Structure 1
Amino acid sequence: MPAAVPFTHPLRVRYNECDPQGVVFNANYVVYVDVTITELWRALFGSYQRFVEATGVDVVVADLQLRFRASARFDDELEVTLTPALTSASSVTSQIAIDRSGTRILEGTIRHVCVDARALTKVPAPALMRDALGAAAAA
C-alpha cells in the first residue's frame, strides 16, 4: 500500500541534538529530514535498500533549502512532513515542513536526483518510483 502524501513522521528531540543553550543544533534538522525520507521509502518500498536492489537506482541530494522560523528544544515532539513529487525525468523534489504543536518551525525543499547505483551517473527515475509516487499522490 502506498504511503500517503504528504508523508508525516513524528520525532522527539533528544538531549544530544541540542547545543549548550538547549536549542536543537541547526544541522540536526537535516538529519530529521533524512530520517523522514528513509521512513517514506520504507512505507513505499519496504526499505531504501530494497528500492536500490530492485531498481539499481540510488538517489542523491542535489539541492537543499531550509528556512528556520522558530527553534525546537529538548524533548519537543516534532512532526516532519514531506510532500514528494517528480519534477523532471530524474528528479524528485520534496516540500519539507517541521511542526511543533501545530506551529511551523521550519520549511524548505530537498531535491534528489536518481543515479545508477554503481556508476553514480544520472538516470531517469525508475518505473517503480514513478508508480509509487504517482499512486501516493493520488491516495
Structure 2
Amino acid sequence: MGTRFTHRVKARYGDCDMQGVVYNPNYFVYLDDAMDTWIQSELGPDYLGRFDYVVKKASLEWEAPARWRDVVEMRPEVTRWGRTSFDVSVALSVDGRRIGVAEFVFISVEPGSHEPKPVPIPEEVRNALSV
C-alpha cells in the first residue's frame, strides 16, 4: 500500500504576479511536479518505462492565495480507480491553512507512446498509489 505523500514547493519571486501572489498557472506547474515526484516515490525513478499517463481533465479551486516565499504543501490521493483511468484530488495548503484543491482525471497510456489511447492501469500502480 502507498503512504500518505506530501510534496512541498517554495514560491519563488518569479512565480508571483504584481499583487505578490502566486500567478494562477504556476499552481499547475507545482502540481505536475508533485504528481511526478509522488509516482516516482512509490514506483521508483524508472517508472516511465512501466507506466505512463496523460491528463484528460484538470481543475483547481482556490480558497486563498500563496505568496512569495510561502511553502505550498500538496497532498495527492487517488479518489477513483477505473480500468484505464483514475481520478486524483490534491489538497494544497500553506502553514496548515488550506488554500485550494485540485482535481484531475488521468488516462493510463502505453509507456513512451504519448498517444491518448487508453490502456489498463497496471496492478502495481493501483497498489502503490492506494492509501
Give me the TM-score of the superposition, normalised by structure 2.
Answer: 0.89
Distance 1:29 1:119, change over 3 A: closer
Equivalent residue for 1:126? Answer: 122
CA distance in 2, matches of 1:77, 1:3: 24
| Residues 50-105 of structure 1: CA deviation (Å, up to 9, x unaligned) | 1121x2x4200011111011111100112111112442001121111110111111
2:12 to 14, 19, 32: 14
- Taking the TM superposition and a 5 Å limit, the aligned residue runs for 1:1-139 are 3-5=2-4, 7-47=5-45, 50-53=46-49, 55=50, 57-117=51-111, 118=113, 120=115, 121-134=117-130, 137=131
Q: Mind listing any 5+ residue stretches in structure 2 that lack a counterpart?
A: none
Equivalenced residue count is: 129
Give me the TM-score of the superposition, normalised by structure 1.
Answer: 0.84
Tell whether the 8 Å contact from 1:82 to 1:97 is kept in structure 2 after alignment.
yes
Secondary structure at the counterpart of residue 60 of structure 1: strand
Q: Mind listing any 5+ residue stretches in structure 1 that lack a counterpart?
A: none
